[in-house]
Structure 1
Amino acid sequence: MVDEEMGPRQRGAETKRRRTRELIIVSTLELYDGKAEGDYTRDEIAAAAGVGVATVHNNFGSKYEVLRAAYDRLLSPLVDTIVEARKQRVYKPRDGVDELFRYIYTVAKVSHEHRALTVSMIRAYFDLSVDDLPYVPDSEDDLTEKEARRFLDTVLGGKIAEGLFAVLDTEAFPADKQYKGSLPTIFLYADALLMKIYHRKGDGVPVEITRDICTALLAVCLPEDDWSDIMGRIEAAKNMVDSRA
């Protein structure tokens, strides 16, 4: 139901719900901010937000959903800008491959800088019961827009995949190599990026991940091109992103 279709009481309840969710997300980000290790219980998240555990559960359902919402908030400035520009048909990077390096490096850097939150989100995902596991489509083919949205909003790595889909949907990559309509396939690369964050530590992790993920993607998307200078291009992307930080 859209806001215009709601009565005053419904609009008030919806506004309160959004404010409560925002409070919980912001409080979660503050708890994990600047931490490379560590985790918090749902009780501690509720206490930080000044609400009851039942309120956290009613708004998010599981700890994974809380951490996923907080992690998505970190990536939103990058991903939402790209996705919206693509919708408006004004997303036209000067060099699509350099844009891929920039995108993957930025995601890896943000995830690494907020490693405690990222790792805790991954653990919470794998702690879900079978009944609580996020929606996964039966097939990669012919996903409806609603199914794609549901997939991206629930599955681990969905926010990363959403942006990656837009990056690959440019003239730099051949149409038959872009995985159009195949978000579950792109999700595998997003999932791989998160698993690398989970298992690796150290200052060089974002560059290592960018190398691994982009090498795998380019081997599929542009297999005939020469990528002997891949580290140079990654370094250029790193310098660009770091200089804007």
Structure 2
Amino acid sequence: MPPDETAPPEEPRVRAARTKRERTRRALLESADALFGTRGWNQTRVEDVAAAAGVSPATAYNHFPTKHALIGTVYAPLIRPLALSAEQDRRTGRPVVDALSDQVRALSRTSARHRTLTAALGLAMLDYTARTTAPPDPQDQGDPRNLAPMTTAIEGLIEDGQRSGELRPFPPAVELSGIVINLLLVRSLNRPDETAEQTAEMLLTVMFGAVKPELLAGRGVDGRPFSGDE
């Protein structure tokens, strides 16, 4: 749609204020990424992020009302490409086993590459869940589970496979995707030396063991169907 040529030009002061706000937000996210990624969840405060970004705590809270909202926003870009890949796979009808396998491996690589940040996100989600004692509310945009929706891509692919009969109908997609992501987050916290391949092996075994156990039969070495499998 062409721009409205009748609209009055933006005032310089308004444009400058918007540019400053965008620059401040970017600085906060970059600082938060660095601090959460090195110190973790418990050792990082919003005040620390504000100091690293060169702004006041009040300014930081004006952009991100809670630490939970801040880390969710930081992590979101890491999973966005995976969500887009899953959407493409679903749209083109790619075999669900292949699509799910690639999703899990990609998530495992992302987790390994950003292990401390991923562990921090897991603790943030656990803390938020404990505070709300409820599943995510889609309307709550301060919930890191909504801001960084790690289950969405896997859940959609499992739903497609269950609907087509390629995967067993139980556990439901929403439950199984949650199990897979929770296991990933826990392992990012308590398996600091685990490789992405080892994490993916465990997640794939749990996931397909539940909804496509025949895939595990006769595969792999020593009863490990996804060991070294790429």
Task: Return closer, same or farther for 1:20/1:129 CA change in 2, 3 Å cut-off.
Answer: farther
Task: Return closer, same or farther for 1:53/1:79 CA change in 2, 3 Å cut-off.
Answer: same
Q: Which of 160, 177, 197 pairs up with 2:188?
A: 197
Task: Return closer, same or farther for 1:128/1:32 CA change in 2, 3 Å cut-off.
Answer: closer
Q: In the aligned structure 2, how far is the partner of 1:181 from the partner of 1:17?
A: 43
Task: Return closer, same or farther for 1:226/1:30 CA change in 2, 3 Å cut-off.
Answer: closer
Q: In the aligned structure 2, how far is the partner of 1:236 from the partner of 1:119?
A: 25
Q: Structure 1, residues 156-196: CA drift from partner, whole Å, max 9, x if none?
A: 89622011123324458626736798535522321121011
Task: Return closer, same or farther for 1:201/1:129 CA change in 2, 3 Å cut-off.
Answer: closer
For residue 120 of structure 2, what is the aligned residue in structure 1?
120
Task: Return closer, same or farther for 1:203/1:209 CA change in 2, 3 Å cut-off.
Answer: closer
Shift in Å, 1:69:
1.6
Shift in Å, 1:229:
2.3
What aligned pairs does 1:7-156 form with structure 2 within 5 A after superposition? 20-32=24-36, 35=38, 39-83=43-87, 85=88, 90-93=91-94, 95-128=95-128, 131=131, 133=132, 136=135, 154-155=144-145
**Structure 2 counterpart of 1:92, which letter?**
G
Shift in Å, 1:25:
1.9
Residue identity over aligned pairs, in percent, reads 20
User: Are positions 1:228 and 2:207 aligned together?
Assistant: no
Task: Return closer, same or farther for 1:16/1:153 CA change in 2, 3 Å cut-off.
Answer: farther
Deviating more after overlay: 206-215 vs 149-158: 149-158
When the two structures are superposed, what TM-score results if normalisation uses the length of structure 2? 0.70
Q: In the aligned structure 2, how far is the partner of 1:222 from the partner of 1:65?
A: 36
Task: Return closer, same or farther for 1:134/1:121 CA change in 2, 3 Å cut-off.
Answer: farther
Paired residues of 1:125 and 1:156 also in contact (CA < 8 A)? no
Paired residues of 1:46 and 1:56 also in contact (CA < 8 A)? yes
Which protein has the larger Cα radius of gyration, Structure 1 or Structure 2?
2
Paired residues of 1:67 and 1:121 also in contact (CA < 8 A)? yes
Shift in Å, 1:117:
1.3
Task: Return closer, same or farther for 1:154/1:181 CA change in 2, 3 Å cut-off.
Answer: farther
Q: In the aligned structure 2, how far is the partner of 1:56 from the partner of 1:151?
A: 17
**Structure 1 counterpart of 2:207, which letter?**
L
Give ranges in structure 2 of 5+ residues lacking alignment: none
Task: Return closer, same or farther for 1:129/1:61 CA change in 2, 3 Å cut-off.
Answer: farther
When the two structures are superposed, what TM-score results if normalisation uses the length of structure 1? 0.67
Q: Give the 3-state SS of the residue equivalent to 2:178 in structure 1.
A: helix
Task: Return closer, same or farther for 1:226/1:232 CA change in 2, 3 Å cut-off.
Answer: closer
Task: Return closer, same or farther for 1:176/1:78 CA change in 2, 3 Å cut-off.
Answer: closer
Q: Structure 1, residues 117-169: CA drift from partner, whole Å, max 9, x if none?
A: 122233344445965x38616xxxxxxxxx55759964289622011123324
For residue 141 of structure 1, what is the aligned residue in structure 2?
none
Q: In the aligned structure 2, how far is the partner of 1:125 from the partner of 1:236?
A: 30
Aligned-pair Cα RMSD in Å: 4.1
Aligned length: 216
Paired residues of 1:174 and 1:221 also in contact (CA < 8 A)? no
